Amino acid sequence: MNPTIKDVAKHANVSIATVSRIVNGLPGYSEETKKKVQQSIEALGYQPNAIARGLINKRTQTIGVLFPDVSGMLSSEVLEGVENAAHDGGFSVIVCNTTSSGKRTVKYLRLLQEKRVDGIIFASEDVKEEYYKIFQEMKVPVVLVSTASSKYDLPFVRVNDFDGAFQATEYLIQKGHKVIGMIGGSDEDPIAGVPRMQGFQKALENNGLSFTNSHIKKNEGYRFQNGKESLPLLLKKLPDMTALFAASDEMAIGAMSAAHELGIRVPEELSIIGYDNLKIAEMCYPALTTVSQPLKDMGQTSGEMLVSLIIGEQQEAKSRYMPFTIVERQSVSNFRDK
């Protein structure tokens, strides 16, 4: 259907080897034949077949990216970075939406294996043994983004969640707050759950502030609804709370929404700091002060890391902790005794 290298060769009266060499910029032909062949390519509209290339080169110039939730705002930004880096490195990216399901994840990994992708980016989830085994079978580089693995030695790109939570809490303390609550994740979540709660606790303790179980409302998810439902519950246990650290922006905004409904003014009566710095953080009112994860950058960096592992620039990738910053907007105020 499409013209092949053979058609070009015939049209230009040379061998397919010569055409191949010219197409790939290898040496071994005169300037004259090069022109002739290029004209034939132009005339026939020849496009090399990446499939055939892949078969012989054992390189598909394609990577796979697995997200628990492609349409999540966190994933989308990371994806943009990954795609950008991949494209710059000459790779295409296949997206996989695992919906946090182990079965689906395995199915996708098998698919990526059959498709012979050259590498994998695994985002925002814990690496189960099952997954790791497939990684090993596949013998392609893998880099984790926005997650890490304690059990397995896989390079990651992420921010230090403990530090982020610690700093966020310190920030509230510096603003004069004494009674600070947290809307957190789950004890079962080693990525965004535990470390953020530990960072929070540590900051309180370091500053001689009280910390009890009542200071944290845990949640299974990190969504708007989780935050919205958590605020009233947290306020019940911690009525004189003046500041709140939420383990995600969505939860922070959910809490903000609940506060509005309860007639609690933000930040005058309740200061709120989030975590992530999603696009919505600057769109809500009051604009959300939050711990900024450089999501697009993280995607970009993990993408670059992966391609450099694939093309063999480096043998072992060095994991990277990305810098976070606290971006100050309007949801946190100084605490003043009334």
Partner DNA sequence: GCGTTTTACGTAAACGTTTACGTAATTCCC
Partner DNA sequence: GGGAATTACGTAAACGTTTACGTAAAACGC
Candidates 46, 91, 122, 222; binder of DNA (CB under 7 A) is 46
Q: How many Å apart are CA 85 and CA 338, to the nearest integer?
A: 52
Among the residue ranges 18-26, 73-81, 155-163, 302-310, the one whose residues contact its own copies (CB under 8 A)? 73-81
Residues 202-241 as x/- pattern, contact with its own copies by CB under 8 A: ----------------------x-----------------
For 235-268, letters b (16+ CB in 10 Å) and e give: beebeebbbbbbbbbbbbbbbbbbbeeeeeebbe
Q: By CB under 8 A, what part of segment 134-153 binds its own copies?
A: 137, 139
HSE-CB at 215 with a 13 A cutoff on CA atoms is 20
Q: Whole-number minimum distance, CB 43 to DNA, in Å?
A: 15
Q: How many Å apart are CA 265 and CA 271, to the nearest integer?
A: 9
Candidates 24, 27, 32, 58; binder of its own copies (CB under 8 A) is 58
Q: Whole-number minimum distance, CB 197 to its own copies, in Å?
A: 23
Candidates 16, 29, 38, 54; binder of its own copies (CB under 8 A) is 54
Which stretches within the chain are classed as H helix?
5-12, 16-24, 31-44, 50-57, 73-88, 102-114, 129-138, 161-174, 194-206, 224-237, 249-262, 295-310
What are the tokens at 53?
A: 């290339």
Q: Are 95 and 65 in contact (CB under 8 A)?
A: yes
Q: Whole-number minimum distance, CB 79 to its own copies, in Å?
A: 6
Q: Whole-number minimum distance, CB 39 to DNA, in Å?
A: 14
Q: Are 66 and 105 in contact (CB under 8 A)?
A: yes
Q: Using CB distances below 5 to 8 A depending on partner kind, what does residue 103 bind out of DNA, its own copies, none?
A: none
What is the distance of C-alpha 190 from the center of its chain? 16
Residues 280-309 as x/- pattern, contact with its own copies by CB under 8 A: x-xxxxxx--------x-------------
Using CA atoms in the order 235, 237, 238, 239, what is the torsion angle rounded to 10 degrees?
A: 60
Which is nearest to 82 in space by CA: 146, 153, 9, 17?
Answer: 146
Which is nearest to 147 in space by CA: 201, 189, 209, 106?
Answer: 189
Asked if 283 is part of the footprint of DNA (rule: CB under 7 A), the reply reads no
Among the residue ranges 31-39, 65-73, 190-198, 300-308, the one whose residues contact its own copies (CB under 8 A)? 65-73
Among the residue ranges 42-50, 87-95, 100-108, 165-173, the one whose residues contact DNA (CB under 7 A)? 42-50
Among the residue ranges 15-23, 140-148, 152-160, 286-294, the one whose residues contact DNA (CB under 7 A)? 15-23
Asked if 111 is part of the footprint of DNA (rule: CB under 7 A), the reply reads no
Asked if 183 is part of the footprint of DNA (rule: CB under 7 A), the reply reads no
Which is nearest to 204 in space by CA: 235, 163, 174, 173?
Answer: 173
Q: How many Å apart are CA 146 and CA 132, to the nearest integer?
A: 17
Residue 67's DSSP bridge partners are: 97
Candidates 35, 39, 55, 90; binder of DNA (CB under 7 A) is 55
Query: Which residues contact its own copies by CB under 8 A?
Result: 1-2, 45, 47-52, 54-55, 58, 60, 62, 70-73, 75-77, 79-80, 83-84, 87, 92-97, 110-111, 113-116, 137, 139, 224, 250, 253-254, 256-257, 260, 279-280, 282-287, 296
